[in-house]
Structure 1
Amino acid sequence: MDDDTTSCIKLKPNLFWQSINILIIKPHVVNKRLWGCTILNRYYVQDNDISWENELKNWQLEIVNKKQFLDDILKNKQVKIVGECKTENEILLVELLPKSYLESHAFQIIYKNKSVTQVGFFDVTPAENEQNLCPTFSYSFSLQGDEVILKTFSDNVTKSHQWLQSTVLPQVLKWCHEISTKQVQICNESLALVPNEEYYTKYNELKLTYGKEMVKIWPECTDPTKFVYEDIAIATYLLLLWETDTKPQSFVDIGCGNGLLVYILSMEGHTGYGVDVRKRKIWDLYPNNINLKETTVTPSNMHIFSDVDWIIGNHSDELTPWIPVIAAQNSYKSNFFLLPCCAYNFDGTKYQRQNSSKSQYTEYLEYVKKVCDNCGFETEIDRLKIPSTKRICFIGRKRTYKENEHEKFVACIQYMISNQIGLSMTNETDQDIKTKEFKTRDPIERVRNCTQLDKNITDSIISCISNYLLDGCNLETNWSKGSSVAIHKLIKLLPSDKLKALKSECGGLQTLLRNNHHIFEVRNGCVNLRYPRTIDEVKNHARSKKYNDGLKMQIKPCWFYNNHPQGCPLDSSVCSFLHEMST
């Protein structure tokens, strides 16, 4: 059964083909069952009369010889293969990789017919695989005039047909629109520097070897399902990147955090260690051969990393721009892997965006790329597959200059750093340039959620806000919750010294208000006083949240009883707080 679906967007062939290329390379964007895909074969041919729907019925793909399948068909049909040419038709054999590692893979032949601006998708998965990753029927997208047409050879009531019509076609049109309007990004491809299929296999092997057990024993307060599998993905990437070398690589992970990346790389046969300003609980759970050091890294002691092949900066924060510098100054053969996250300058201060038309992340990536280039590297860029929005990485493996020019280039790097920090080469020594004004992280992690504010400051802010909320309200009749006021208006009430104290805490005023949720109610950016809760209300709420154990009430003084001009509206026998004047 044929079914035509059209779009209303005005398109040109180049936009259509760019959008289709995204669909082929990144099928997981529209198909949540997929992890990704790998292209087994790609040929350019001088033939536009191949009737694939009929021809493929006579051929059976064998998993053990999957890469030979398309070759045999083209040879049998005597199709003429030519060199790469954008004007010629293109035939691909694609393997679809499931998100669930143990699920059956699927295989498609994709035929891009440039002469009629049409692409066809044909399932060639062996029947015994019983795949459910892609439609088992054939379908195509074509550009007719300025409309995209979806044609399927199936009953239009199937889920696969509805998915093509309601999900895939709109996404193809969306890509067409984005391509025609968006600016050039710093990196568009994922895992461009490592073999996709090998990455898929290696990642799942490491996931089975280290992932589940590590999640079980995770002692940190962070989410193990994110941090464990993210580090496994980064380890997979590095292991494949290092496979081109015949010997195990030595490395140092600067700002290693939980040390999981060091653990996996070491267990997989490489030699290295991690350094961080603060020890983590999980460090004690690793085997004795895992080398993790608690130390503060500054520009003045970076020379201690000179004996390794790779400098790793995985979310290295203040030291991010220094990673390529360390690698460049170590030796001509030193390499680096850098995954920037938080934006910092060379002196450890926060990086400030210069161009409002770009996001801070995009602009910082461009800044880091320039630093890498200035350090003499042929900087490679890639996009990792990790559960994070910050997944663009930089790799430095080759230099833009010859080895006999190394010392001269190191001097140029030092001059670049002095300019970045704003020092004069004539007035400062090399040691001054490395250390002056560099801000390091405190080894003791500060609690910054407004719970460490001086009690007098907290009480003063609460009093200031509650008085403002009650100002002008009728306090002669019913008990009043006061006005509802936007948080941004309340900020203007605070004295400058109180505001400064708040700004030094994560969350600021809103966090303080939520910490005192027994007094204030914050909703949709507005604040008012809360109506006090009874003992039964607190018990029911705790029961619904399953944290009723050890629940104690009428221990702390009731704020309303002590501070509200009308007192507490609840009787002392039912109020969840104690009706006793505080001293």
Structure 2
Amino acid sequence: MDSRFITALSIWIHKPQVVHKDVFASSIESESDDSLLRVIYPKLRTQVNEFTELCSKGPAYRFTSIFITYIVELKNGYILVSVLDDNSGFLQSSWLKDVLEPRLNHWYSCDARVNIPSLALIDRRMYQLQYERLKNTYGPILVKNWSEKTDPMKFVYEDIGIACYLICLWKDEHVNFVDLGCGNGLLTYILSSEGFDGIGIDIRKRHIWESYPISVQQRLKESSLNPEDFSGFPQTNWLIGNHSDELTPWLPILASKTGPSCKLFVLPCCPYGLFGKFNIPKSSLSFLPQTVKVNQITGTSRYGIYLNYIQQILGICGFIPEVDALRIPSTRRICIVGRSMVDSKCVDNTVYLGRLSTVNKYIEFERDLILKPNKMFIARSLTETPSNCTTISKFVIEKISHTVFRALLSCKPNKYLLQSHDLVLSDDLKIQTLDSRWWNPGDC
């Protein structure tokens, strides 16, 4: 069967929300060679309960739910959607023909890829309900009182989404967390306000910390941490790395040092290795236990390669890496969770010590790959250096501007370039603009 047809169908099966505005998500309950059963979760505002849809595979895929029965098949290079039975419910025949069918053919023609399904590790309905509650509880007041220079609409609702995901991931688990590189402290604030015990640590205090309740301020610690020398966090059972930059690859290692039962959640952003900016290392798969399979992120982008690298470190540290995609306003939405261990006997002292020995060997392996003289962990500076030229003196800016413009004005007009932009050049080198005015470029 045509692989592009299967891929287009897979997008509709796994990510219906990208085409149907009233769908929040779907999840696969069971699957065999002949069929699959999925649950579709409508958005809360529709007031429609989640429902199941049975998909029978074959030359034509048959979808059956309480609302409608329809067939999707490939005929002469065109994907055709045919409705067999319509009960005029959530999925309607007109929508399937007018919206889904063209979209399936678009995916088919451009050979689209199936990206990582979002919220795959948690209960989608629980996430919807929790997010709506957290958004209404924390969103308006945090946006109103935002004291940082960053965009509150992005950062507030991004951290609300991350907090909601963690709450759904933890469920009823007793959690004592450490949020490493907590930044504005918003994630720590929301989680602690929701009754979870934990602290946030960052190398630099933020102004917004002072706007939080005293009980939350006491949980935010300004401290520098060298993971090479650090022995772990006693009593902690979850480490969080939310855009923790240079600490990101150290999160699995710090979780291992903390104890055999410590788990982790990491949301990678800026690519760092153990000893500086991330440069693609030699394969570290030789350190992975044979029972660990890394969920290779498709594509050859630097970000995809970095996600695979972080997964490998989780595997080396004894975790079974799980990959998921968050629903947050960010291009960096892929998270990696380490909550299950490769060896069920990891709490045994001998097994745990062997795990730490493997981790230490890998640290030295990556250290040997570094070409620079300083092969140590490098923490970020206590002071944030602006990178947008805001601190350059006005004198320097004006001098550069004048130098550039003098050089440009000394150049003779390029007749062919001007004509390509529908501009006219006269014999005395004056330029006629689009509004029919004549401009003297200088020196004429």
TM-score (norm 2): 0.77
**Other-structure match for 1:420:** 366
Q: Output the CA distance in 1 between the equivalents of 2:12 and 2:278.
A: 38
**Deviation readout 1:340-382 (Å, 9 max, x if unpaired):** 0110111123445999x71000111111111111112122222
- For residue 333 of structure 2, the aligned residue among 391, 403, 417 is 391
Q: CA RMSD in A?
A: 3.6
Identity %: 35
- Which runs of 5 or more structure 1 residues have no equivalent in the other structure? 1-11, 44-83, 125-136, 425-432, 474-481, 487-563, 567-583
2:33 to 62, 65, 86: 86
The answer to whether residue 25 in structure 2 is matched with residue 33 in structure 1 is no
Could you tell me which amino acid in structure 2 is paired with residue 149 of structure 1?
A: L
**2:162 counterpart (223, 231, 234):** 234
Question: Any conservation in 2 of the 1:251–1:308 contact (CA below 8 Å)?
Answer: yes
Distance 1:14 1:87, change over 3 A: farther
Report the counterpart of residue 151 of structure 2 in structure 1: 223
1:379 and 2:321 equivalent?
yes
Aligned residues: 394
1:437-448 equivalences in 2 (<5 Å): 437-448=376-387
Aligned-residue offset at 1:437: 3.5
Matched, 1:346 2:346: no
**3-state SS, counterpart of residue 302 of structure 1:** coil
> Corresponding residue for 2:74?
143
Query: What's the counterpart of residue 97 of structure 1?
Result: 42
2:9 equivalent to 1:20: yes
Matching residue of 1:294: 222
Answer whether contact 1:250 1:271 (CA < 8 A) is retained.
yes
Shift of 1:307: 3.3
Shift of 1:203: 1.6
Which residue matches 1:545? none
Q: Distance in 1 between matches of 2:103 and 2:282?
A: 33
Deviation at 1:107, TM superposition (A): 5.9
Inter-CA distance 367–16: structure 2 relative to 1 (3 Å threshold): same
Query: Residues 41 and 125 of structure 2 are in contact (CA less than 8 Å); yes or no, is this contact kept in structure 1?
Result: no
SS at match of 2:351: helix
AA aligned to 1:97 is P
Structure ranking higher on relative contact order (CA contacts 8 Å, 6+ apart): 2
**Cα contact 1:351–1:364 (8 A) shared by 2:** no
Q: Give, in angstroms, the shift of residue 438 of structure 1.
A: 2.6
Q: 2:148 and 2:409 mapped to 1: Cα distance?
A: 43
Instruction: Map residues 243-392 of structure 1 onto 2, 5 A cutoff.
Output: 243=171, 245=173, 248-290=174-216, 291-300=219-228, 302-303=230-231, 305-351=233-279, 358-392=300-334
Q: Shift of the alpha carbon at 1:113?
A: 4.0
Equivalent pair of 1:315/1:342 in contact (CA under 8 Å): yes
Alpha-carbon distance, 1:436 to partner:
4.9
Change in 2 beyond 3 A, CA 1:21/1:470:
closer
User: How far did 1:468 drift?
Assistant: 0.8
Alpha-carbon displacement from aligned partner over 1:163-214 (angstroms, at most 9, x marks no partner): 54454223323444566x85xx8x7222221112112212212112212222
Residues 177 and 369 (structure 1 numbering): CA distance in 2 closer, same or farther, change over 3 Å?
A: farther
Which region of structure 1 is more displaced relative to structure 2, 299-308 or 203-212? 299-308
1:239 alignment partner AA: I
Q: CA 1:197–1:109 in 2, change beyond 3 Å: closer, same or farther? A: closer
Verify the 8 A CA contact 2:281 2:366 in the aligned structure 1: no
2:354 aligned partner? 408
1:461 is the counterpart of 2:400: yes
Tell whether the 8 Å contact from 1:250 to 1:308 is kept in structure 2 after alignment.
yes
* Matched residue, 1:493: none
**Structure 2: which 5+ residue stretches go unaligned?**
284-298, 418-440
Residue 400 of structure 1 deviates from its aligned partner by 2.3
> In 2, Cα distance between the equivalents of 1:142 and 1:314?
43
1:172 aligns with 2:104: yes
Please state whether the residue corresponding to 2:55 is helix, strand or coil. strand
CA deviation vs aligned residue, 1:437-492 (integer Å, no higher than 9, x gap): 4322122222222232255543442232122111145xxxxxxxx889x9xxxxxx
Structure 1 residue 295: Cα displacement? 1.7
Separation (CA, whole Å) in 1 of partners of 2:98 and 2:378: 52
After TM superposition, the score normalised by the length of structure 1 is 0.60
**Counterparts of 1:472 and 1:87, CA distance in 2:** 71
